[in-house]
Amino acid sequence: MISYKHVFKSFDGGKHFAVEDVCFEVHEGETLVLLGSSGCGKTTLLKLTNHLLQPTSGTIEVDGQDIARQSSISLRRRIGYVFQGIGLFPHMTVEENVAMVPRLLGWPAKKRRERAHELLGIVGLDPETYATRFPEELSGGQQQRVGVARALAADPAYLLMDEPFGALDALTRDTLQRELLALKQRLKKTIVFVTHDIFEALALGDRIAVLQGGRLEQIGKKEEILQMPATEFVRELFAKPAQQLAAYGEML
Amino acid sequence: MLAESWVALVSERLPELWLRTGEHLMLSGVSTGAAILVGIPLGICAARIWWLRGPLIGGVGILQTIPSLAMLAILLTLLDKIGAIPAVIALILYALLPIVRNTLAGLEGVSPAVVEAACGIGMTSRQRLWLVEIPLSMPVIVAGIRTAAVLSVGIATLSAFIGAGGLGQFINRGLALSNTELILLGAVPVALLALVVDGSIAALQWGLRRKRSRDSRFRAAIDRILRPLALAMPVALVVLGCFAYFSTNTSSANPAWGPSGTDGRVIRIGTKNFTEQLILGELMAQLIEARTGLIVERRFNLGGTMICHGALKSGAIDMYAEYTGTALTAILDLSVIADPDRAHETVVREYRRRFSAEWLSPFGFNNTYAITVRKSDATSRNLQTISDLIGIAETLRAGFTAEFSERPDGYPGLRSVYGLQFREVRDLDPALMYQAIAKREVDVICAFATDGRIAAFELQPLRDDRGFFPPYQAAPVVRSEFLAVRPELRPVLDLLAGFLDDATMQRLNFEVDEKKRRPVEVAREFLEGQGLLESSN
């Protein structure tokens, strides 16, 4: 379980808050989607979670432990992170990229290799073909599969995903979303997933947290949010795409 | 230049070329290596510690702007040493800038997304550096190393000025003897060496790069053949350099790196960097070799009076030939003494007292400065004495050696004694000065009275009618400590005392300067002709 307790984050010494008084919890085994437009603080919140950023005030607890009181290095090795910019190491092969966290944790070479190949299989990349390739030799979708495999390598209980499919075309994104859902069933991870895409949020999220201007507008199951939007903003947010979809349907 | 004469020159000089190439590789290799070891950590510090960045980059930048000769001179004074050590330190300092700057640029150029990923998956700061940042900056860092290596090969030529050897020795000697072939014998291999060194590092980098699995079969095949070759190239270069250096590195052939202590069996003779000095050096060396059991180390062609003097004081050389007038004014800082005998007595006394060095008997000639014009001008304008220049100096261009322009017994003194003010004064290399006046690029030079080129270039020395120039009698100066161990040195060198008058010295200089003969031969011929080489017992 991850819990946020009155978390504030300011980058300018308190004039503006990128995250303002955020309180909620991520339950064991659920996929929580942080939804909001750019600049709403969702990525900041994610980075606070594995201590890439330190909160200005408030505490974040992972498994009941305040993360400020533990080594951020070992924290990060226990939490898988899939980056918005993918961030594969361009000078390493796919296999080396995937095996990086196990390497940092000191696994023996053989075990690392087996684990990397296993994970490549799980994310749908044939290890025989892809293990020895370099990131530049892969398509964007393939790169992000490797990114997911890397995040899963040390079998972390938590997975933080920062708009992982944002830069992909619609078809690839759809495939990867499906695969993530399947993966989730199989691996039973607790996932915090950041997106600005409402359909992605509805497709993947068990619960959705809507952020606006650094504040939490509403958190709840998707049905609750759709049926009982807590604020005008939330209602608008979900109404817009529905109108667009209706217009699109008429055109067809 | 004819191809045959080149072939002849190169084949004749091949053993020395080999030795100097080895020295050159050693100088530039050792210094580039050290600069890598120092520069990369400095670059990393600059990237990591924000307040160090400005001072570090500024500091190594300033080092780079110090002119190379000035740097050598400064290090010489600081270390009180000639030879390879100050040369290597200077080269390291020059090589630092490209390495530090490129390391910083490389580290800063690593994509922020990759750095964030490295942090985000839980790398420590050190792991991030070694596993991600350094590998990704490697191309930029290696580019810096290549720049540094090429720079070192180039600047290493200047280390010959302070007796560190290397290919610069040919250039230096060629300049001293105005011998273009000799200059090229140094310059061409240096240029080739720079290309080879640059290519080898590039080959090493290419050879170590990781294969891409998608490389076509054709490329992969080429790879298999070329990769070992690429890796062999730098290895071959290092092996070759070490071999060239160590295979010929006997203490007499390679003074630059030899021991600098005195054991009384080896005498290290220095010279300044012009023809007469090289001939005197050879005369003394060959006489000592023929008549004593001493082994002679020739540390010739040191870049000027102060470097020779510094080397003698610090014991880097045991002996060189100095001129009384120079010693009085430039070294002892005393006023001019017109009487030759009194001048000699004074330097004998002062050197004993201040520097523990002994002046032996003068060779006989007086190589005073001679304010010299073209014979044609002397005739047409009726110039006979320096005073005849008064009134027309403002229309004349002067070309002086750098030393003459600064020394109190040079232009500054001349100006106040005669009231001369030339239209323009250019600093020229001693060898170029004569060509410049012959080609009418300057009108007045400070020739040396014993220079053979005065006659050869149809020049006219002007009489020093106000007796400004002190006598410049040349004599061997030996460290007292050495003379105490080997007292037989004095009678042997005294064989030359009074033996070389102005005309003789002019003739010997002319043989080298204009007939392009080597000082070694000219000296041997003279000594043989005088029967001085036959052993006295």
Nearest CA in chain B to A88: B114
Rounded-to-integer distance, Cα B338 and Cα B409, Å: 12
Interface of A with B in 187-216 (CB under 8 A): none
pLDDT band at residue B435 under the 50/70/90 scheme: confident
Compute the CA torsion angle B215, B217, B221, B223 (nearest 10 deg). Answer: 0
Rounded-to-integer distance, Cα A51 and Cα A32, Å: 19
Compute the CA torsion angle B280, B285, B290, B296 (nearest 10 deg). Answer: 180
Residues of B in contact with A50 (CB under 8 A): 120
pLDDT at B407 over 80: no
Q: What H or E segment, with its residue span, contains residue B528? A: helix B519-529
| A87–B contact, CB cutoff 8 A | yes
* Per-residue tokens: B74: 């400064």
| A73–B contact, CB cutoff 8 A | yes
Residues of A in contact with B131 (CB under 8 A): 89, 100
B56-81 confidence digits (pLDDT tens):
999 988 988 888 878 887 887 788 77
Mutation site for A-interface testing, chosen from B111, B121, B129 by largest number of A Cβ within 10 Å:
B121
The shares of helix, strand and coil residues in chain B, as percent rounded to the nearest 5, are 65, 10, 25
Determine the distance in angstroms separating the CA of A146 from the nearest CA of chain B, rounded to an integer.
13
Query: Averaged over B357-374, what is the pLDDT?
Result: 92
Residues of A in contact with B116 (CB under 8 A): 52, 83, 85, 87
| B interface residues, A as partner, C-beta within 8 Å | 111, 113-114, 116-124, 127, 131-132, 135-136, 210, 212-214
Q: Residue B429 has what pLDDT?
A: 80
Residues 6+ apart with CB under 8 A from B147: B98, B102
| CA nearest to B343, candidates B450, B472, B468 | B472
Nearest CA in chain A to B111: A87
Query: Averaged over B426-453, what is the pLDDT?
Result: 87
* Per-residue tokens: B91: 């080269």
Rounded-to-integer distance, Cα B206 and Cα B202, Å: 6
CA quadruple B503, B505, B506, B507: dihedral positive or negative? positive
Q: Buried b / exposed e across B450-488, counting CB within 10 Å, b at 16+?
A: bbbbbebbebbbbebeeebbbbbbbbbbbbeebbeebee
Domain ranges of chain A: 2-86+158-251
| CA nearest to B153, candidates B10, B13, B21 | B21
Strand B444-448's sheet: what is its strand order? B424-428, B397-401, B444-448, B369-374, B459-461
Q: Residue B72 has what pLDDT?
A: 83
Contact (CB<8Å) A89/B123 = no
Rounded-to-integer distance, Cα A7 and Cα A68, Å: 12
Residues 6+ apart with CB under 8 A from B423: B393, B394, B395, B396, B397
Nearest CA in chain A to B213: A133
Amino acid identity for residue B383 in this structure: L
Q: Buried b / exposed e across B290-310, counting CB within 10 Å, b at 16+?
A: bbbebebbbbbbbbbbbbbbb
Residues of B in contact with A128 (CB under 8 A): none
Q: For residue B122, give the nearest of A73, A89, A90 by CB distance.
A: A73
Q: Name the least confident of A208-222, B304-318, B516-530.
A: B304-318
Residues of A in contact with B122 (CB under 8 A): 72-77, 101, 104
Determine the distance in angstroms separating the CA of A133 from the nearest CA of chain B, rounded to an integer.
6
The shares of helix, strand and coil residues in chain A, as percent rounded to the nearest 5, are 45, 25, 30
SS3 A16: coil
Determine the distance in angstroms separating the CA of A176 from the nearest CA of chain B, rounded to an integer.
21
Contacts for A214-220 with beta carbons within 8 Å, 24 or more apart? A214/A9, A214/A17, A214/A18, A214/A19, A214/A20, A214/A22, A214/A40, A214/A41, A214/A44, A215/A20, A215/A21, A215/A22, A215/A41, A216/A22, A216/A23, A216/A24, A219/A24
| CA nearest to B272, candidates B429, B453, B463 | B429
Contact (CB<8Å) A52/B113 = no
pLDDT band at residue B241 under the 50/70/90 scheme: confident
Contact (CB<8Å) B113/A134 = no
* Per-residue tokens: B297: 């180390």
Residues of B in contact with A137 (CB under 8 A): 212-214
Query: Averaged over A122-146, what is the pLDDT?
Result: 91
Residues 6+ apart with CB under 8 A from B76: B82, B86, B162, B307, B310
Residues of B in contact with A83 (CB under 8 A): 113, 116-117, 120
Residues 6+ apart with CB under 8 A from B389: B371, B383, B396, B418, B420, B444, B462
Residues of B in contact with A88 (CB under 8 A): 114, 117
pLDDT band at residue B223 under the 50/70/90 scheme: confident
A178-237 confidence digits (pLDDT tens):
989 988 888 889 999 999 999 999 999 999 999 999 999 999 998 999 899 999 999 988
Q: For residue A89, give the nearest of B120, B124, B132 by CB distance.
A: B132
Mean pLDDT of the residues in chain A: 91
Reading phi first (left if > 0) and then psi (alpha if -120 to 50, else beta), residue B459 is in beta
Amino acid identity for residue B416 in this structure: S
* Percent of the residues in chain B that have a pLDDT greater than 70, as a whole number: 95
What is chain A's alpha carbon radius of gyration, rounded to the nearest angstrom? 19
Domains of chain B: 16-247 (1.10.3720.10), 259-366+477-529 (3.40.190.10), 369-461 (3.40.190.120)
Determine the distance in angstroms separating the CA of B166 from the nearest CA of chain A, rounded to an integer.
40
pLDDT at B96 over 50: yes
Could you tell me how many CB contacts below 8 A there are between chain A and chain B? 71
Contact (CB<8Å) A77/B127 = no
Q: Residue B38 has what pLDDT?
A: 95
pLDDT at A142 over 50: yes
Query: Averaged over B329-339, what is the pLDDT?
Result: 84
| CA nearest to A9, candidates A38, A61, A45 | A45
Amino acid identity for residue B239 in this structure: V
A109-118 confidence digits (pLDDT tens):
999 999 999 9
Rounded-to-integer distance, Cα B272 and Cα B270, Å: 7
Reading phi first (left if > 0) and then psi (alpha if -120 to 50, else beta), residue B22 is in alpha
Angle formed by the axes of helices A140-152 and A170-187, to 10°?
20
Residues of A in contact with B135 (CB under 8 A): 91
pLDDT at B53 over 50: yes
| A89–B contact, CB cutoff 8 A | yes
Strand A2-9's sheet: what is its strand order? A19-26, A2-9, A57-62, A65-66
* Percent of the residues in chain B that have a pLDDT greater than 90, as a whole number: 44
Residues of B in contact with A150 (CB under 8 A): 121
Q: Residue B257 has what pLDDT?
A: 42
* Per-residue tokens: A195: 């997106």
When the candidates are 3.40.50.920, 3.40.50.300, 3.30.950.10, 3.30.70.1230, the CATH number that belongs to A2-86+158-251 is 3.40.50.300
pLDDT at B248 over 70: no
Q: Residue B254 has what pLDDT?
A: 43
Mean pLDDT of the residues in chain B: 87
DSSP label of A245: H
Q: For residue A87, give the nearest of B113, B135, B214 by CB distance.
A: B113
Strand A158-162's sheet: what is its strand order? A79-82, A158-162, A190-195, A31-35, A207-212, A215-221
